[in-house]
Amino acid sequence: MLQGKKIVLGITGSIAAYKSCLIIRELVKRGAEVQVVITPAGKEFITPITLSALTQKPVVSEFFSQRDGTWNSHVKLGLWADAMLIAPCTASTLGKMAHGVADNMLITTYLSMKAPVFVAPAMDLDMYAHPTTQQNMETLKSFGNHIIEPQSGFLASGLEGKGRMEDPEKIVSYLDNYFSATPSNAASSGATHTAELSGKKILITAGPTYEKIDPVRFIGNYSSGKMGYALAEECANRGAEVVLVSGPVSLTTSHPRIKVVSVESCQQMYAAATESFPSCQAAILCAAVADFRPAVVAEQKIKRVGQTMDIHLVPNPDIAAQLGKMKKPDQVLVGFALETNDEQQNAQHKLEKKNLDFIVLNSLRNAGTCFQSDQNQVSIISRDGKRDYDRKPKNAVASDIVDELCNRIH
Ligand code: PMT
């Protein structure tokens, strides 16, 4: 989707500036035309000669090229570009962008930009976490700019890995996804699905839940999140805004239309899902949620005493059943059933009990599918009947499920 796109790449004075070469290489590989605009500090980290060799274009840096009256037009660049990407973007440039401090060519180009702007921050954690930086990023978001950051780990304070510039390939994929999901590209791409879910908001749950026993132990399961993340990508690629409520997994997504809400326990997933569902047109509940949790979470690590140990469990809320109660006539609710025996009967029971529109059945009897595998084999069961599908990669399974969803969503 980047074929033929004109990208202004802004480079600022960060040690991550060397990675802009990898960004250029990836953009050019995907067919984009790149014009670099670099700040004076950026040139301390990487030379314009390297950049112009990679882009096959002179690098723009100063307002005036020579002392002969010729000057670089930031206005022309603003009209030329299909997108502006600022990567790496320092705290200083973030601040100038948020407040319109137009003291270099990059900021004047930003202020004249007619195309969408993407920003990949790069700084140390202290600078990143400072309220000024956080506020500047919020300001830029409120202007409609896209901030591209690595997703943080689920167990971290929320700041793990933050400040570090996202990987060049993921940054370029973010832009690629953006253009893929933009309706104006649908016709030229020939894609059949693009923008089918444009204007729709979809809630997806994914991954396992962890139910704490003590500070070091939990009750969990083998879900990797692959099936749920594939569904999220599929919906987002068809133009939907996705709220992905994810249990603890090692997966990340950089799709611009997917907002990840990281949770750990069933109760946290329940709170996030019930809050989001009323503003969504559909929900797909793919998470493997623990039905029970320890009644008491020990404050200290439990010591080995005696020969046996009992953990008293209490029921967790059923997220699917609750959303089934909240469901309005124009909302579509999709569940999963992971079974080991009496598959169809159990799935049909869940379809009714949870008031689902259809349920996706997968069985652990099909070796090499379900948990952790890259493949799955499913049946879709609704009140209209049952359809069996072949074993496929999870992204192809996600496409089948979203096809079924699209038949029902209005
Ligand atoms: O994550 P992967 O490694 O890719 O594996 C994918 C998967 C096997 C986890 C996935 O395909 C799958 O089957 N997910 C549902 C697993 C499950 O817990 O099924 P269940 O039959 O126990 O639950 C039925 C439905 O109720 C599910 O939609 C589940 O999300 C939901 N549920 C269950 C319990 C609960 N307390 N709240 C819920 O919302």
Share of the chain above pLDDT 90, in %: 82
Confidence of residue 190 (pLDDT cuts 50, 70, 90): very low
Distance 91 CA to ligand 1 centre (A): 42
Residue 306 DSSP one-character state: S
- CA-to-CA distance for 312 and 316, rounded, in angstroms? 13
Structure tokens at 75: 């206005």
Q: Tell me the per-residue pLDDT of 247-286, one tens digit each, with 9 for 90 and over.
A: 999 998 888 889 999 999 999 999 999 999 999 999 999 9
Residue 149 vs residue 183, higher pLDDT: 149
Domains of the chain: 6-180 (3.40.50.1950), 196-300+312-408 (3.40.50.10300)
Q: What is the mean pLDDT of the chain?
A: 91
Query: What H or E segment, with its residue span, contains residue 131?
Result: helix 131-142
pLDDT band of residue 161 (cuts 50, 70, 90) is low
221 is known as an active-site residue: yes
CA of 238 to the centre of ligand 1 (A): 24
Position 156 scores a pLDDT of 43
Q: 288 and 208 in contact (C-beta within 8 Å)?
A: yes
Cα 154 vs. chain centroid, distance in angstroms? Answer: 14
Q: Which of 221, 346, 355, 366 is catalytic?
A: 221
Q: Residue type at 123?
A: M
- The rounded Å distance from CA 154 to ligand 1 centre is 19
Q: What pLDDT is recorded for position 182?
A: 65
- Strand, helix or coil for residue 212: strand
Question: 160 burial class (0-12, 13-18, 19+ CB within 10 angstroms)?
Answer: middle
* DSSP state for residue 18 in the 8-state scheme: G
Q: What is the pLDDT of residue 195?
A: 78
Give pLDDT tens digits for 357-389: 999 999 999 999 999 999 999 999 999 999 999
* Arithmetic mean of pLDDT, 337-343: 97
Of ligand 1's atoms, which has the minimum distance to the CA of residue 317?
36
Predicted pLDDT of residue 155: 42
pLDDT(80) > 60:
yes
The pairing of strands 392-393 and 375-376 is antiparallel
pLDDT (mean) for 8-26: 97
Q: How many Cα atoms within 13 Å fall on the side-chain side of residue 402?
A: 30
User: Rounded to 5 degrees, what angle do the CA atoms 382, 384, 390 make?
Assistant: 60
Structure token digits, residue 71: 């000057």
Residues touching ligand 1 (Cβ under 6 Å) are 205, 207, 223-228, 266, 285-289, 291, 316, 318-320, 335-338, 350, 362, 370-372
Average pLDDT over residues 90-108: 96
What is the C-alpha to C-alpha distance for residues 192 and 238, in angstroms, rounded to an integer? 9
Q: What is the mean pLDDT of residues 153-158?
A: 46
Looking at residue 186, its pLDDT comes to: 40
Q: Once rounded to an integer, what is the mean pLDDT over residues 63-68?
A: 65
Q: Is the pLDDT of residue 77 over 70?
A: yes
* Separation of alpha carbons 38 and 328, rounded Å: 52
Residue-wise pLDDT tens digits, 235-248: 999 999 999 999 99
pTM of the complete model: 0.69
**What is the arithmetic mean of pLDDT over 282-298?**
98
| Residue spans of alpha helices (H) in 238-297 | 266-276
Cβ neighbourhood burial of 247 (10 Å; 0-12, 13-18, 19+): buried
Does residue 73 have a pLDDT over 80?
A: no
Task: Report yes or no: 359 and 310 within 8 Å, Cβ to Cβ.
Answer: no
Q: What percent of the chain has pLDDT over 70?
A: 92
What is residue 302's predicted lDDT score, i.e. its pLDDT? 96
Residue 375's pLDDT is 95
- pLDDT, position 162: 77
